Structure 1
Amino acid sequence: MGITLTEAAARHVSRYLARRGKGVGVRLGIKTTGCSGLAYQLEYVDEPQPEDIVFEEHGVKVLIDPKSLAYIDGTELDFVRDGLNEGFRFNNPNERDRCGCGESFRV
């Protein structure tokens, strides 16, 4: 299945990488935390790791470590603005439950 980005997410990442003046894309992963057990982790990548799995959408690379892929395979990464708030939204078909605060999820 893989990881996909919406055009809005790709535009946001591209603009941010251009402002930084460096970077090859973003790394999407998970960490154990929160009420439901797992949380998304997103960071800009300057140097890919040998084990990274790379997906590219709209000219933007998304790097995933193999351990995280099992939990987030099929996820669409979106960037949304809602009033004064903006941020990434993860549309993950593997999610079975999400905590009330929206910070963590369970598969």
Structure 2
Amino acid sequence: MTEKTTIATPTRRPRPKVMTLTPAAAARVRSIMASKGPDIAGLKIGVKKGGCAGMEYTMTWAESVDKFDEVVEQDGARVIVDPQAVLYLLGTEMDYKTDKLSSTFVFNNPNQQSACGCGESVNLVPAHEDAGEAAE
């Protein structure tokens, strides 16, 4: 007779969200997603090199979620974070502001060291890889 040994599988704790959305940002993303139709999977956020401060935020509408994308769903809004941007966006709060002359998404990012005078680009440093654990 052979004895079976059961090996316990470690329970994974839930990962913290890469980003959060304010109610205003969630409402705006949800509204635009609804107007785009069912073919849109969400608003994809990323970063790229550019501008006088070194980096720029990117936003595009995605038709699908890629294998390594991070998905943030909040209040009916879906934001997809490009995997190459995760360490630059960790802990970021996305807001939507409206004033007399414009309406825009605003990123309150703890990884931002500075921004250019015109507001088009930012200087970002990657968060430490263990920063996600500290956010819990």
Whether TM-score is above 0.5 comes out as: yes
2:62 to 39, 45, 51: 45
Q: Percent identity?
A: 39
- What 5-or-longer segments of structure 2 have no aligned partner? 1-15, 125-136
Partner of 1:30: 47
The superposition leaves residues 77-102 of structure 1 with CA deviations (integer Å, 9 ceiling, x where unpaired) of 11110113101111101100100011
Give yes or no for the alignment of 1:6 onto 2:22. Answer: yes
Which structure exhibits the higher relative contact order, with contacts defined as CA atoms closer than 8 Å and separated by 6 or more residues? 1
Show structure 1 runs of 4+ deviating over 3 A: none
> What count of residue pairs does the alignment treat as equivalent?
107
Amino acid at match of 1:11: A
- The CA deviation string for residues 6-61 of structure 1, in whole angstroms up to 9 with x for no partner, is 11111111111111113121111001000011000011222111111112121212
Greater mean alpha carbon deviation, residues 94-103 or residues 59-68: 59-68
| Structure 1 stretch displaced more, 17-26 or 81-90 | 17-26
- Scaled by the length of structure 2, what TM-score is found? 0.74
Task: Quote the residue 1:16 is aligned against.
Answer: 32
Stretches of structure 1 that go unaligned for 5 or more consecutive residues are none
Q: Once superposed, what is the RMSD of the aligned Cα atoms?
A: 1.1
The answer for the alignment partner of 1:94 in structure 2 is: 111
SS at match of 2:67: coil
SS at match of 2:112: coil
